[in-house]
Amino acid sequence: SCDGCQLTLLDCEDELLLLGEQIDIVHFPEATSPGQPHGPFDVAIIEGSVSTPEQRDEVQAIRRNSTILLTIGACATSGGIQALRNFGDHDDYRRIVYAQPEYISSLATSTPVADHVPVDFELRGCPVNKHQLLELITACLRGRTPAIKNESVCFECKRNGTVCVAVTQQMPCLGPVTHAGCGAICPAFNRGCFGCYG
């Protein structure tokens, strides 16, 4: 993945300082030195798809050593952009892209974490919504279910008073089949939803 979801957590600024008083961060590639990456963890948050045997083994080890496992972002929850390779010939891609493809170790497909281990909660988005991420972490700390709505972008458009671009302008829009969380930004700017929340 691009690490954008980790950067979203760093973007929390003041909220992150408050969270820091309640949590002990063991391993956070964008913000800490290397730590103990395989637990034990009360809560583990994973971003990124599973594209290599090493990543598959790592998510399995993290799951074994975590009480709660959360996945965040389009890559971890649906395979992300990397999953586009699933529709072509994996060996052809390796030959075309890499000068020495024999040194590249990757799985035939790029998949979401939930294809490999049980996941307790998936937070969608590319990147994830800062407020939803904070709600998810807070809910885990308090032992409750996250108050994150399970609805489509269309509901956000209606709440925001945004006119439906699919109906009024016959514009392609993935809002009806895309999980809410972005605030319906694209339709608010007179563009169709591209489905970044999966």
CA 108 from centroid of its chain's CA atoms: 21
Q: Which residues pair with 44 in a beta bridge?
A: 69
In angstroms, the Cα distances linking 26 to 41, 103, 168 are 8, 31, 50
The pair of structure tokens assigned to 143 is 């032992």
Is residue 189 within 8 Å of 165, Cβ to Cβ?
A: no
Question: What pLDDT is attached to residue 196?
Answer: 80
Give domain limits for the chain: 4-142, 153-189
Is residue 93 within 8 Å of 107, Cβ to Cβ?
A: no
Question: What pLDDT is attached to residue 114?
Answer: 98
When pLDDT is cut at 50, 70 and 90, the band that residue 36 belongs to is: low
What three-state secondary structure class fits 65? Answer: coil
Mean pLDDT over each residue of the chain, to the nearest integer:
90
Question: What pLDDT is attached to residue 69?
Answer: 97
Fold of 4-142: Rossmann fold (3.40.50)
State the CB neighbour count (10 A cutoff) for residue 108. 11
Question: What pLDDT is attached to residue 35?
Answer: 62
Q: What is the pTM of this model?
A: 0.86
User: Residue 143: left (phi > 0), alpha (psi -120 to 50), or beta?
Assistant: left
Is residue 154 within 8 Å of 177, Cβ to Cβ?
A: no
What three-state secondary structure class fits 88? Answer: coil
The CA distance from 117 to 135, in Å, is 23
Contacts of 154 (CB under 8 A, 6+ apart): 164, 175, 176
